[in-house]
Amino acid sequence: MKHFSLIFFAILITSCCSAKQVVTDQEIVKVETIVVSETAKQVEMEAEVEEDSDASEEVVEENNKAIIIGENTTIKMPGLIVSINKKDSITSNLHLLNHHRWEWLLGEHVSDNGNVDYLGFKKSKNQLRDYITHLSENLPTEAWTKEDKLAYWINAYNALTVDLIIRNYPIKSIKDIKDPWDQRLWQLGEKWYNLNEIEHEILRKMEEPRIHFAIVCASFSCPKLQNEAFTASKLEAQLTNATKAFLADANRNEIASDKIKISKIFQWFSKDFKQNGSLIDFLNTYSEVKIDSKAKKSYKDYNWELND
């Protein structure tokens, strides 16, 4: 097993492929790869290369950067596996997913305070639907890292929630929609999903309690919708920052050392926050105020008005 740093350069092309060459025993083999970005910038990834130690060597050239590979080689990286067999072209069984469309939409229509411009989203519904189509065409597989999967499903949940709202907009609350979390309106891959399934059957089963401060139910008492997309490379910091911000928000939680009045999220999903200790232990990990283990606890009323 060897590790190499492999630099992929993105080209300003939408839904196109670029040609590369594999040089093997004087033969030229054309290779198609997937563009990883819609902007002309470099994307650097760490690639893990599994190599047949007894195999003859070949060279893959990438913008004057080369790595030596054996006859049967697999290059692994988040969202992509490339298998190389002698005298065969490189084939990829996964797309390189990006969240650039969602990032742009969030930057355009979500304030720093998490207020959502649903009318603006409605005017940009084609771009939102394009992003959902992108998600549908790039469903996670077992080869993806946990971070990649979490980022995918968090972004998917939030994008589908926004789509649900603008399908019914103008409304005053998500609860004005009949069965909002049970409607199977979105096909991702071969399956039709609803929001409940994504939250309870996928995200919660990944045993990351901080997802509750990243996914948003389009309501005032929810955590705020971030105005940037979640990505695998920034996920740890993004989840931590979202959790800390939610706990520090006096509209959603009132925390003192001897008394706490907290969001009903902590009541509804109490099991999720007790994976490594008590609820107080979890809160103290992210709260600016040190809470006594015997502090009195109560829950705030939940405001389901739209977060606009």
> pLDDT, tens digit, for every residue of 6-48?
334 333 333 333 333 333 333 323 333 333 333 333 333 333 4
Does an H or E element contain 284, and which? helix 279-286
Residue 128 near residue 177 (C-beta atoms within 8 A): no
Which residue has tokens 């990834």? 45
Averaged pLDDT of the chain: 79
Residue 127 near residue 108 (C-beta atoms within 8 A): no
Residue 225 near residue 118 (C-beta atoms within 8 A): no
Residue 213 near residue 204 (C-beta atoms within 8 A): no
0.85 surpassed by pTM: no
Residue 80 near residue 92 (C-beta atoms within 8 A): yes
For residues 288-307, one letter each, b for 16 or more C-beta atoms within 10 angstroms of the residue's C-beta and e for the rest, the string is: eeebeeebeeeebebebebb
Strand order through the sheet with 259-262 = 254-255, 259-262, 296-299
Among residues 217, 213, 233, 255, the alpha carbon closest in space to that of 145 is found at 233
**Rounded to 5°, angle at Cα 86 from 80 and 89:** 50
Q: Which pLDDT band holds residue 96 (cuts at 50, 70, 90)? A: low
Q: Span 279-307, mean pLDDT? A: 97
Q: What pLDDT score does 300 carry? A: 98
Quote the percentage of the chain above a pLDDT of 90: 68
Rounded CA-CA distance 120/3 in Å is 45
